[in-house]
Amino acid sequence: MPAFGPGTVALSLGLCLCAGQLVAASPAMAASTTTVTPVAASAAAVKVTPTLASTTSTRSLKWGSTLKVTAKVIDPATGKIAKGTVRLQGWSNGAWRNLDTGTVKTSAVTLTAKPKSTLWVRTIFSGSGYNQKVTTKVKVKVVASGAKVLAEAKKHKGALYKFGASGPSRFDCSGYTKYVYKKTTGKSLPHKANSQQKYGKSVSKSNKKVGDLIVFRNGSYGYHAGIYAGNGYMYDSPHSGARVGKHKIWSKNYVVRRLVA
């Protein structure tokens, strides 16, 4: 067993043996045996909340048309443009979905979309050094248009003619127009060409537009119906043995009816 002298014991007790006297160790000596670990704390940089203003081109949009939203972001600390990313979002199927994205550099950014149905839209800004900023949602109503009617008419190209049929796989002439207009505008037309000519707004031949209803007549009796496709053509279900398709307007004796804006 090792021998311990008085000095060893004194030191182990934090004491010092000086000239035969036991003296307490100085605070400096005691402190020299303690290890201190400094705690570094860095304050997070304070982010700025920008101002975000957006303007929609319209609150009522024709189907197939382009919605434009202009957004401007300002740094309130400098009064200058806040650089970052702006997203145009639309509320669809229970969630916000991105419709377009733009980068703010030296001026306002314009975002675009072609919504297919009425929806809520908003813009949201993100940028380095800034808090995220979101605008109040705005409702944009999408209304039926000639373009929507024509798009639906094209979907059924190749469908075989069947007398008395009104879709969705077989059609006669008025059954085809009845189906397309119901699908795109919600309007119910009778299943007869002669009756359909009494619906919608009367339009002159020279002012007809894509999506207008065309009813051919024998005298004043309507016997065939189609949908104007532009440039002297229409989509129709012609006759037995034929299929839905784009065909040349063959007669001058017809009337034009407009069922959409």
Q: Are residues 118 and 165 in the same domain?
A: no
Residues 135 and 156 both lie in one domain: no
pLDDT tens across the length of the chain (261 residues): 444 444 443 334 344 434 444 444 444 444 444 454 554 444 467 899 999 999 999 999 999 999 999 999 999 999 999 999 999 999 988 999 999 999 998 889 999 999 999 999 999 999 999 999 999 999 999 999 999 999 999 999 999 999 999 999 999 999 999 999 999 999 999 999 999 999 999 999 999 999 999 999 999 999 999 999 999 999 999 999 999 999 999 999 999 999 997
Same domain for 180 and 136: no
The answer to whether residue 30 is domain-embedded is no
Residue 14 inside a domain? The answer is no
Closest by CA position to 234, among listed 259, 257, 212, 204: 212
Which residue matches tokens 């197939």?
64
Give the integer Cα–Cα distance in Å for 251 and 247.
Answer: 12
Q: Are 187 and 181 in contact (CB under 8 A)?
A: yes
For residue 177, the domain's CATH number is 3.90.1720.10
pLDDT at 38: 52
What value, to the nearest 5°, has the Cα angle with vertex 125 and ends 50 and 137?
100
Residues 167, 171, 174, 176, CA torsion sign:
positive
**CATH number of domain containing 83:** 2.60.40.10
Dihedral sign, CA of 244, 245, 246, 249? negative
The verdict on 122 and 175 lying in the same domain is: no
Out of 94, 128, 143, pick the residue that ends a domain: 143
How many whole angstroms separate alpha carbon 71 and alpha carbon 54?
4
The last residue of one of the domains, among 143, 168, 187, is 143
Give me the pLDDT at residue 92, please: 86
Structural domain ending residue among the three candidates 143, 171, 194: 143
70 and 109 belong to one structural domain: yes
The answer to whether position 5 is within a domain reads no
Per the structure, the complete domain to which residue 231 belongs is given by: 146-258
Asked if residue 15 is part of any domain, the answer here is no
Number of domains observed in the structure of the chain: 2
Look at the block and give the residue holding tokens 């909340």. 49
C-alpha count within 13 angstroms, C-beta hemisphere, residue 144: 17
Angstrom distance (rounded) from CA 236 to CA 12: 108
Give me the phi and psi of 116, to 5 degrees please: -95, -10
pLDDT value at residue 191: 98
Q: Could you tell me if 203 and 235 lie in one domain?
A: yes
**Distance of alpha carbon 86 from alpha carbon 73, whole angstroms:** 9
Residues 104 and 186 placed together within one structural domain of the fold: no
In this structure, is residue 202 part of a structural domain?
yes
User: Residues 131, 190: one domain?
Assistant: no
pTM for this entry:
0.74
Gap between the Cα atoms of 3 and 20, Å rounded: 19
Indicate whether 161 and 88 sit together in one domain. no
Q: Is position 39 within any domain? A: no
* Residue 179 three-state SS: helix
Do 185 and 83 share a structural domain?
no
**So what's the pLDDT on residue 46?**
87
pLDDT number for residue 44? 61
Asked whether residue 10 is domain-assigned, the answer is: no
Residues 150 and 254 in one domain: yes
Examine the domain organization and report whether 162 and 179 are in the same domain. Answer: yes
